[in-house]
């Protein structure tokens, strides 16, 4: 049994009958989650696409702010400093009618971008220029990465032989210096979300700096930049088109589909993290696509692409075409569809080639292109480095690319503290928890049942936290006590281990009310301990399982769980961010139960739920005390040491504050007791409360050993 309230205010645990008709919690949890994702996706599609745009003036007024938001969601606001590129040519390859320069530049000091620049053999005047961004081509030889640029050399050759300059740049993950795109996809780096980091932003920055480099070349006509690329390169084509109006013509290939495909249909499971921005503003992807308007845009896709399904691509095309129509530029948007799967197919390429010929060279729309892109260059000959630079940051750039918030000096007066607290609260509302429902509906708790066992009364209430989640709240106290007789009610926020202990302590006593799932343990000692607490103190204890815990838990492999977490992220949320909402709604529910309107409220939780409870307390008045056990020290996954020190993912939180700062905010509202053997980690809230004469409101205690609670 977890630590007893007799020692540190952890109360008893009760599980009443499920508020849902399904008997198998796993089945229920999976169904509820699917319904939730569908409802949220449809809400975003109906409100955060471009369907609400009514006129050209309306779009022109909103587009600049959308573009700024795009920079922010890619981790590029503020924009990194444009330091010297340090461009270096390391060799060249000559072919029939073209030459390839092997080169690299640094998009920021130590962040190397390896590239090949394709030029016609003879350049007599500045050329229209293609930025080609690569998809996920894993080109290796003898254990050495040649960069994914080597997998797309045939595109560069075609452009050079047809009178273009073409710069093909490697990505960080599959370049000659291997970085990482799969942080949340398979590496468990969910702290990327807390940092507001996505490798999509890294690739967008490479594109911006690539254009900066091209502007230095005399062979290039910098008034005629355009971009193309497929798959991952298609996505990066979208990023640079949306962000940088130096791009005059765009033909992204197989790089976008809508939220319905990604979240409801599950296409997110086929994509690494480089395909998505941090969706702080809860966009559907058509809004990003529309930022190309009114520049020439060709959306290119195959009809049997399983990770960019044609139905979603077509929905985006139809909606964005309306924006082009409002701007009087409907002739500048096109849709090229070829038969086939998700592959680099010649029919797709020919459509893009034709588009560039028309819009960069003024070619006749009836022009026939009779030569496709053919692979002719030995991949190894395109390698830029013979030895990788020792000062490279590519392999760990995820740790520094997005700047963390600096911890301000502890406030020494009330005015400074109020200013800092207000700024943090604003950031939490607008950047971290923007995925919460915009309107707070009444909870209207419904009393389901009540029972008495051995002088202990348990009552179950159901309430809606957020559709489709109806959660169950359990309130327990000594039988015969009215709510107004209680000295306090303590809310226990349960995680899965807590839920298991909850069931073990009570199911054998409350058999008429408690639905126990197969394999539930039994702990009579724990029940007797909790009974002693209730008979000794006039305390009321409340218990809640936020979504995904206990009755609403979902099942599946670790991989399946990861992909569910990524769906939350696409919706501009995190699972724990929404659990914070559930805790808020639980506190509101307790207050709505007759008799508990004025009863002092306390909260106790363990591990990640301690962090979730901490944030929830900042948004609800009247929480008198927090008892937080085994609480992580930071949201930052780059800290060294025990992995347990890293807390749950909260969108963008580290761009504003960390867990110790949140603890300081809570301690200035009520008493906070943290059970930790790492006292120094909590110096910040200790200093704040001391400086402002409220040191009694913050306390660090030694963790309570399990044997001490028996």
SS3 11: coil
CA distances from 42 to 96, 259, 281, 282, 547 (A): 53, 8, 15, 12, 20
Band of residue 18 on the pLDDT scale cut at 50, 70, 90: very low
| 225 vs 367, residue with greater confidence | 225
Rounded to a whole number of angstroms, the distance between the first and last alpha carbons of the chain is 9
Q: Is the pLDDT of residue 27 over 90?
A: no
Interstrand relation of 127-133 and 698-701 (parallel, antiparallel or unpaired)? unpaired
Mean pLDDT of the region 699-708: 80
Q: According to the model, what pLDDT value does residue 435 have?
A: 98
Counted residue by residue, the chain has a size of: 710
Find the helix or strand (DSSP H, E) in which 564 lies: helix 558-570
Would you tell me how many other CB atoms lie within 10 Å of the CB of residue 531?
Answer: 18
Q: According to the model, what pLDDT value does residue 522 have?
A: 81
Give the integer Cα–Cα distance in Å for 183 and 198: 9
Q: What is the CA radius of gyration of the chain?
A: 29
Mean pLDDT of the region 87-96: 97
What's the token pair of residue 589?
Answer: 């529910």
Band of residue 6 on the pLDDT scale cut at 50, 70, 90: very low
Residue 643 · residue 664 · CB < 8 Å: no
Going through 37-195 in order, the beta strands assigned E by DSSP cover: 88-95, 98-108, 111-120, 127-133, 140-141, 144-145, 165-169
Residue 583 · residue 550 · CB < 8 Å: no
Query: pLDDT tens for residues 201-224?
Result: 999 999 999 999 999 999 999 999
Half-sphere exposure of residue 470, counting CA atoms within 13 Å on the CB side? 14
Q: Is the pLDDT of residue 14 over 50?
A: no
- Residue-range domains of the chain with CATH: 5-44+415-709 (3.40.50.1820), 73-386 (3.40.50.1820)
Closest C-alpha among 425, 413, 435 to residue 666: 425
- DSSP secondary structure letter of residue 697: G
Give the integer Cα–Cα distance in Å for 578 and 437: 10
Give the integer Cα–Cα distance in Å for 20 and 547: 13
Q: Is the pLDDT of residue 578 over 50?
A: yes
CA angle 529, 534, 540 (to 5 degrees): 130
Q: Is the pLDDT of residue 514 over 70?
A: no
- DSSP secondary structure letter of residue 438: S
Going through 50-97 in order, the beta strands assigned E by DSSP cover: 88-95
Q: Is the pLDDT of residue 9 over 60?
A: no
Q: Give phi and psi for 612, each to the nearest 5.
A: -60, -40
Give the integer Cα–Cα distance in Å for 12 and 529: 8
Residue 251 · residue 300 · CB < 8 Å: yes
Query: pLDDT tens for residues 583-623?
Result: 999 999 999 999 999 999 999 999 999 999 999 999 999 99
Q: According to the model, what pLDDT value does residue 557 have?
A: 94
Q: According to the model, what pLDDT value does residue 527 have?
A: 83
DSSP 212-251: HHHTT-TTEEEEEEEEEEETHHHHHHHHHHHH-TTEEEEE
Q: CB under 8 Å to 300, separation ≥6 — which residues? A: 230, 234, 251, 252, 253, 254, 336, 338, 348, 351, 352
Give the integer Cα–Cα distance in Å for 619 and 633: 21
- DSSP secondary structure letter of residue 411: P
Phi-psi region of 318 (alpha: psi -120 to 50; beta: other; left: phi over 0): alpha
Q: Is the pLDDT of residue 354 over 60?
A: yes
Q: According to the model, what pLDDT value does residue 173 have?
A: 94
Q: Give phi and psi for 92, each to the nearest 5.
A: -150, 160
What's the token pair of residue 456?
Answer: 């202990």
Mean pLDDT of the region 273-294: 98
What's the token pair of residue 548?
Answer: 């995904």
DSSP 148-186: GGGGGHHHHHHHHHTT-EEEEE--TTTSSS---S-TTTT
Query: pLDDT tens for residues 650-696?
Result: 999 999 999 999 999 999 999 999 999 999 999 999 999 999 999 99
Mean pLDDT of the chain: 93
Query: pLDDT tens for residues 164-203?
Result: 999 999 999 999 999 999 999 999 999 999 999 999 999 9
Q: According to the model, what pLDDT value does residue 28 have?
A: 87
Band of residue 706 on the pLDDT scale cut at 50, 70, 90: low
Q: Is the pLDDT of residue 26 over 90?
A: no
Band of residue 640 on the pLDDT scale cut at 50, 70, 90: low
Q: According to the model, what pLDDT value does residue 516 have?
A: 52
| 75 vs 550, residue with greater confidence | 75
Question: Which runs of consecutive H residues, i.e. helices, occur in 483-523?
Answer: 496-506
| pTM of the complete model | 0.94
CA angle 139, 145, 151 (to 5 degrees): 25
- DSSP secondary structure letter of residue 443: -
Q: According to the model, what pLDDT value does residue 7 have?
A: 41
Give the integer Cα–Cα distance in Å for 654 and 361: 47
Number of H helices, E strands in the chain: 19, 20
% of the chain with per-residue pLDDT over 70: 94
Q: According to the model, what pLDDT value does residue 372 have?
A: 86
CA 41 to chain centre: 15
SS3 505: helix
Mean pLDDT of the region 93-114: 98
What's the token pair of residue 311?
Answer: 């139905």
Q: CB under 8 Å to 70, separation ≥6 — which residues? A: 239, 242, 243, 277, 288, 291
CA distances from 684 to 304, 442, 656, 666 (A): 55, 36, 15, 12
């Amino acid at each position: 049994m977890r630590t007893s309230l007799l020692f540190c205010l952890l109360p008893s645990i009760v599980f009443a009958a499920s508020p849902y008709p399904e008997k198998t919690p796993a089945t229920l949890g999976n169904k509820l989650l699917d319904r939730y994702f569908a409802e949220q996706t449809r809400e975003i599609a109906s409100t955060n696409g471009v369907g609400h745009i009514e006129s050209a003036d309306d779009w022109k007024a909103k587009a600049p702010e959308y573009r700024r938001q795009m920079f922010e969601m890619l981790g590029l606001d503020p924009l990194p400093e444009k330091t010297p590129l340090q461009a270096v040519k390391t060799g060249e390859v000559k072919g029939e009618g073209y030459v390839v320069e092997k080169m690299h530049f640094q998009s920021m000091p130590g962040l190397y971008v390896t590239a090949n620049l394709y030029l016609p053999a003879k350049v007599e005047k500045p050329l229209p220029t293609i930025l080609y961004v690569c998809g996920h081509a894993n080109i290796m030889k003898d254990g050495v990465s040649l960069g994914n640029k080597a997998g797309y050399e045939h595109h560069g050759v075609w452009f050079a032989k047809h009178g273009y300059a073409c710069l093909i740049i490697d990505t960080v993950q599959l370049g000659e210096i291997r970085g990482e795109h799969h942080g949340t996809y398979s590496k468990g780096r969910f702290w990327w979300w807390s940092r507001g980091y996505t490798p999509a932003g890294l690739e967008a920055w490479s594109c911006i700096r690539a254009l900066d480099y091209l502007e230095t070349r005399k062979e290039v006509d910098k008034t005629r930049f355009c971009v193309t690329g497929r798959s991952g390169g298609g996505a990066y084509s979208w990023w640079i088109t949306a962000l940088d109006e130096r791009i005059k013509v765009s033909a992204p290939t197989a790089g976008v589909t809508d939220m319905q495909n990604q979240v409801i249909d599950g296409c997110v499971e086929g994509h690494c993290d480089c395909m998505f921005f941090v969706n702080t503003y809860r966009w559907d992807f058509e809004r990003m696509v529309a930022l190309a308007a009114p520049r020439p845009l060709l959306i290119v896709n195959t009809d049997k692409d399983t990770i960019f399904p044609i139905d979603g691509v077509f929905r985006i095309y139809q909606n964005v075409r309306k924006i082009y129509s409002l701007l009087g530029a409907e002739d500048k948007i096109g849709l090229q569809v070829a038969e086939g799967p998700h592959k680099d197919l010649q029919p797709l390429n020919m459509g893009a080639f034709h588009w560039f010929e028309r819009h960069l060279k003024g070619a006749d729309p009836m022009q026939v292109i009779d030569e496709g892109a053919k692979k002719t260059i030995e991949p190894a000959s395109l390698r830029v480095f013979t030895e990788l630079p020792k000062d490279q940051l590519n392999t760990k750039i995820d740790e520094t690319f997005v700047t963390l918030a600096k911890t301000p000096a502890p406030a020494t007066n009330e005015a400074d503290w109020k200013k800092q607290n207000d700024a943090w609260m604003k950031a939490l509302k607008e950047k971290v928890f923007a995925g919460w429902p915009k309107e707070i509906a009444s909870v209207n708790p419904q009393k389901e049942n009540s029972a008495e066992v051995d002088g202990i009364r348990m009552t179950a209430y159901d309430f809606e936290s957020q559709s489709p989640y109806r959660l169950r709240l359990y309130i327990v106290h000594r039988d015969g006590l009215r709510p107004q007789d209680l000295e306090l009610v303590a809310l226990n926020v349960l995680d899965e281990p807590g839920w298991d202990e909850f069931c073990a302590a009570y199911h054998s006593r409350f058999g008429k009310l408690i639905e126990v799932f197969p394999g539930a343990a039994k702990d009579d000692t724990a029940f007797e301990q909790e009974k002693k607490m209730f008979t000794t103190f006039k305390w009321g204890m409340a218990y809640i399982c936020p979504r995904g815990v206990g009755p609403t838990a979902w099942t599946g492999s670790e991989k399946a769980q990861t992909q569910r977490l990524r769906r939350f992220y696409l919706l501009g949320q995190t699972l724990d961010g929404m659990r914070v909402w559930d805790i808020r709604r639980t506190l509101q529910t307790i207050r709505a139960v007759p008799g508990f309107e004025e009863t002092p409220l306390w909260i106790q939780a363990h591990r990640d739920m301690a962090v979730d409870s901490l944030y929830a307390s900042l948004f609800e008045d009247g929480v008198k005390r927090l008892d937080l056990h085994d609480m992580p020290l930071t949201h930052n996954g780059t800290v060294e040491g025990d992995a347990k020190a890293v807390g749950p993912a909260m969108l963008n939180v580290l761009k504003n504050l960390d867990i110790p700062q949140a603890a300081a905010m809570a301690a200035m509202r009520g008493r906070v007791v943290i059970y930790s053997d790492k006292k120094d980690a909590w110096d910040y809230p200790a200093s704040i409360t001391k400086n402002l004469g409220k040191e009694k409101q913050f306390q660090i205690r030694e963790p309570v050993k399990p044997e001490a609670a028996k």
